[in-house]
Amino acid sequence: MANLSLFLGCVIPNRYPGIEKSTKLCLEKLGVDCVDLEGASCCPAPGVLRSFDKATWLALAGRNIALSEELDRDLLTICNGCYGSLADANYEVKEDEQLKKDVNSHLEKIGRSIKGDHEVRHITEFLHRDIGPEKIRDIVINPLELRVAVHYGCHLLKPSKGRVGSSFERPVFFDELVEATGAKSVEYSDKMECCGAGGGVRSALPDEALALTGHKLSMIESAEVDCIVNACPFCHMQLDVGQVDLNEKTGTSHNIPVLHYTQLLGLALGFSVEGLGIDLNAVVNTDFLMKVLSE
């Protein structure tokens, strides 16, 4: 099992600290050697900066990767966007020696360099490959009798080049991790559709972003689930806060709890709703809380 450094990104510390707490509780329970990545910056956001200035994007991403390399640890992300940015940068540097030299020409000005000798991991990929659903199932003390809508998100799977996975069109690894908690992953229409927020759409075109979110939520509601589970705080925010925005702007009555996978896993491992920060979400569904607390 790899030793890891935890890359928090921007959204978790600023909007969803409960995801950080749940991640650390779960990793400790699983016996994973993971430390905070001190001095990290924004990943930076893959759908924005890379589109305008690739050299700057690579230098900033390379610095974060270099920090983890200095600790002799793989870098663990708990956000799809951070994973997409850092994994892509790491892959490009490993594949192109000249590009690595170009990046290091910038990093050497601050006394650092990227070697490309470690991996960038995503929490779901790491848990599935290095821990495995069976081991997770074995240590669950509170099997969850929940119907779950799994949201993979875009950057976790695409672009497939350099990513670890057996299927990028019909993946199952996230579903298997969810079902290791005792919950049931429920299929629903347009499961692989974007949450609506990525690529700067949430900021630049909020109405269009909400329209995509509203469609996805309607598909999820038709599947009659107890909650949505994601592994990306930006998707988490769009699906959580987006429900409140839609209800206020369009008169809908969306009320589906949204959990990061580590929060779902934390419940199955016996941690409390408050200890995992689930009660801090924009959508707090009393029926869901009662169901979880009664298990």
Residue 204 pLDDT > 80: no
Query: Under the phi-then-psi rule, with left for phi > 0, alpha for psi from -120 to 50, and beta for the rest, what region is 2?
Result: beta
Class of 4-123 in CATH = mainly alpha
Least Cα distance to 181 among 225, 131, 143 occurs for 143
User: Given pLDDT bands bounded at 50, 70 and 90, which one contains residue 165?
Assistant: low
- Average pLDDT of the residues in 240-263: 96
Rg (CA), the chain: 19
- Average pLDDT of the residues in 38-54: 84
Residue 166 pLDDT > 60: no
Least Cα distance to 215 among 185, 246, 184 occurs for 246
What is the DSSP secondary structure assignment for residue 228, as one 8-state letter?
E
Kindly give, in sequence order, each residue whose CB lies less than 8 Å from that of residue 86, ignoring residues fewer than 6 positions away: 7, 43, 61, 64, 65, 75, 77, 120
At CA 4, angle to CA 117 and CA 182, rounded to 5?
130
Do residues 84 and 53 touch, judged by C-beta distance below 8 A? no
Rounded distance between C-alpha atoms, residue 5 and residue 7, angstroms: 6
pTM of the model: 0.95
Rounded distance between C-alpha atoms, residue 173 and residue 124, angstroms: 8
Q: Where are the domains of the chain?
A: 4-123, 133-294
**Amino acid 265: pLDDT:** 98
User: Given pLDDT bands bounded at 50, 70 and 90, which one contains residue 197?
Assistant: confident
- Average pLDDT of the residues in 248-256: 96
Rounded distance between C-alpha atoms, residue 72 and residue 271, angstroms: 31
Query: Whole-angstrom distance between the N-terminal and C-terminal Cα of the chain?
Result: 32
List Cα–Cα distances, 163 to 5, 44, 70, 119, 146, in angstroms: 19, 18, 23, 11, 30
**Amino acid 157: pLDDT:** 86
pLDDT in tens, 31-44: 999 999 999 999 99
Rounded distance between C-alpha atoms, residue 104 and residue 112, angstroms: 8
Sequence letter at residue 122: H
Count how many Cα atoms sit within 13 Å of the Cα of residue 287 in the half-sphere of its side chain.
7
- Tell me whether domains 4-123 and 133-294 share a fold: no
Rounded distance between C-alpha atoms, residue 75 and residue 89, angstroms: 13
pLDDT in tens, 86-133: 999 999 999 999 999 999 999 999 999 999 999 999 999 999 999 999
User: Given pLDDT bands bounded at 50, 70 and 90, which one contains residue 158?
Assistant: confident
pLDDT in tens, 1-37: 889 999 999 999 999 999 999 999 999 999 999 999 9
Least Cα distance to 239 among 165, 158, 153 occurs for 153
**Amino acid 50: pLDDT:** 73
Do residues 17 and 36 touch, judged by C-beta distance below 8 A? no
Which residue is associated with the tokens 């600023």?
A: 14
Rounded distance between C-alpha atoms, residue 139 and residue 121, angstroms: 23
CATH architecture of the domain 133-294 equals 3-Layer(aba) Sandwich (3.40)
**Amino acid 210: pLDDT:** 94
**Amino acid 206: pLDDT:** 82
**Amino acid 258: pLDDT:** 98
Least Cα distance to 119 among 277, 4, 196, 38 occurs for 4
User: Given pLDDT bands bounded at 50, 70 and 90, which one contains residue 281?
Assistant: very high
**Amino acid 168: pLDDT:** 65
